[in-house]
Amino acid sequence: MAREVWAWCMTRNIWLTASHIPGKLNVVADKASRVFDDSTEWKLDANIFPKLTAHFGTPEVDMFASRLNYQMTPFVSWHPDPQAWAIDAFTLDWNNIFFYAFPPFSIIPQVLQKLDTAQTQAILIVPNWPTQPWYPMLTRLLIQQPILLPKHKSNVSLPFKQEKEHPLGKQLKLMACLLSGDPCQVRAFHQKLKQQYSTPGGLEHKNNTKSFSTSGSHLLISGMQIPFIQL
């Protein structure tokens, strides 16, 4: 490409020169990476994150973050960010990357679809919304019991506007899930559940198409009632 551009310029008697412009002066080109809509940069309470990694393991990368709300480095940003390891998580190969993600709620279906085809593990923070269309896929990808986070308005905050409350406020109930697109890991988890939660006498609960309970205290996976772990 560089040679083609150079040849094109030579045939037109155009000379190119390169020069360095300090970042603070390169306002137009760097605008996208320097301007944030920080009203969307919600972050999970930093005191909760180490409790999750102590239970699920330590991930290698924060997959949907920014320099305002990352929990760990390296992190992947949605928009150009000078501190990001990469841009746009959906363009990356997720195979063999154990990652953490607290994605915007609107893209949870896309995250699950990509994870479903990846040979990897992920700690995913999502709302406990059993009626959402993506919820059955979420439960299908589980490889450990999910952790239900305490329902408190301080669970999520804006890093530079701590006083601002999330629009859903105290009604937002989050859970942390360890997921995998590896069928072997999923089958191993289901086998473990059968050993722990089958009814006496070896009979399993009748299979049910639902993946949640009306009380919200447990999930139904392969016909078995699986309680949440309370943080």
pTM for the structure as a whole:
0.74
Please state, for a pLDDT cut of 90, what percent of the chain lies above it. Answer: 45
Strands 75-77 and 174-180: unpaired
- Whether 82 is covered by a domain: the verdict is yes
Average pLDDT of the residues in 68-74 = 93
* Residue 106 covered by a domain: yes
User: Residue 86 belongs to what domain range?
Assistant: 37-196
Q: Is residue 26 scored above 70 in pLDDT? A: no
Residue 73 lies in a domain: yes
Please tell me which of 45-49, 93-97, 161-165 the model is most confident about, judged by mean pLDDT: 93-97
Residue 55 placed within a domain: yes
**Residue 43 within a domain:** yes
pLDDT at res. 198: 63
Report yes or no on 32 lying in a domain. no
Cα 64 to Cα 123: distance, rounded to the nearest angstrom: 12
Does the residue 56 lie in any domain?
yes
At 204 the pLDDT is 46
CATH of the domain at 141: 3.40.50
Band of the pLDDT at 13, cuts 50, 70, 90?
A: confident
In this prediction, residue 124 carries a pLDDT of 97
Q: How many domains does the chain have?
A: 1
**Beta-carbon-side half-sphere exposure of residue 8 (alpha carbons within 13 Å):** 5
Q: Is the pLDDT of residue 37 over 50?
A: no
**Cα separation of 177 and 116, whole Å?**
14
